Amino acid sequence: MDPRSGCPINAAVEVLGDRWSLLVLRDVMFGDRRHFRALLLGSSEGIASNILSDRLVRLVEAGLLTRGTAARGQRARYSLTEAGIRTLPIICALGDWGLDWRPGDDTLRDRQRLIREGGPAFVEELMDELRVRHLDAPPKPHDGPGAFDRLEAVTEGAAPG
């Protein structure tokens, strides 16, 4: 689908400009929810199945997700593309704004604080780990626990919001 104008902001908003697309990407990234049912049942915002189905189709068509082929009786698995992984800094920036200007769950706010305190290097580490999970990239060596392990330690038992 061609954007309505040549403006790069408009082109991005046409793909990412509704809340459900961003929340689906969030759940794939932070919740590692890669199947329809996991995305449907794991959404703390209560996404309807028809909306989820539509957003998954749109995200695949826009090149942010791929849908693996499923054999009869198996579930299709969604994976982030490089373009999808590159939305992480956008999602983190939205989280920073929400942290500053909106109320929220303390545990999830702690996750966002960890991302903020880690800065661009931490976001890059998260993207590297997403490339391992979704694009089968080789892991980069690092000392200590990985970025997602550190996030999980902060958000143990919290929803992905």
Question: Please, what is the Cα angle at 59 between 3 and 139, to 5 degrees?
Answer: 120
The predicted structure's pLDDT at residue 37:
93
pLDDT number for residue 159: 63
pLDDT digits (tens, 9 = 90+) for 64-101: 999 998 777 778 999 999 999 999 999 999 999 999 99
Beta-carbon contacts of 128 under 8 Å, excluding residues fewer than 6 positions away, are 137, 139, 140, 147
Q: What is the pLDDT of residues 50-63, one digit of tens each?
A: 999 999 999 999 99
Average pLDDT, the chain: 92
Cα–Cα distance between 74 and 47 in angstroms, integer? Answer: 22
10-19, 32-41, 52-61: segment of lowest average pLDDT: 10-19
Question: What are the start-end ranges of the E strands in the chain?
Answer: 65-67, 78-80
Which CATH number fits the domain 8-155, given the four candidates 3.10.180.10, 1.20.120.420, 1.10.10.10, 3.20.20.70?
1.10.10.10
8 Å CB contact between 49 and 40: yes
